[in-house]
Amino acid sequence: MGQIDGLRLTGTYISKLSDKNFQVMKINKVSIHDARTNKDKELYQYSVKLSTGAVRTWLPCQKALQHMADMWGDTTEEQIGKKGKFKVVSKDVFGETKPVIYVE
Mean pLDDT, all residues of the chain:
90
pLDDT tens digits along 90-103: 988 889 898 889 99
Residue 7 has pLDDT above 90, yes or no: no
Q: How many angstroms separate the CA atoms of 27 and 39, rounded? A: 22
The structural domain count of the chain equals 1
Q: Is the pTM of this model over 0.85?
A: no
Residue 47 has pLDDT above 80, yes or no: yes
In a domain, 1, yes or no: no
**Which pLDDT score, from 0 to 100, does residue 6 have?**
58
Residue 1 has pLDDT above 60, yes or no: no
Q: What is the CATH number of the domain that holds 25?
A: 2.40.50
28 is in which domain, residue-wise?
A: 11-103
Nearest Cα residue to 43 out of 54, 29, 53: 29
In a domain, 4, yes or no: no
Q: Which residues of 76-104 are buried (b: 16+ CB within 10 A; e: fewer)?
A: eeebeeeebebebeeeeeeeeeebbbbbe
Residue 3 has pLDDT above 60, yes or no: no
pLDDT tens digits along 78-88: 999 999 999 99
Over the chain, what HEC string results? CCCCCCCECCHHHHHCCCCCEEEEEEEEEEEEEECCCCEEEEEEEEEEEECCCCEEEECCCHHHHHHHHHHHCCCHHHHCCCEEEEEEEEEEECCEEEEEEEEC
In a domain, 6, yes or no: no
In a domain, 57, yes or no: yes
In a domain, 85, yes or no: yes
In a domain, 5, yes or no: no
More confident residue, 23 or 33: 23
In a domain, 84, yes or no: yes
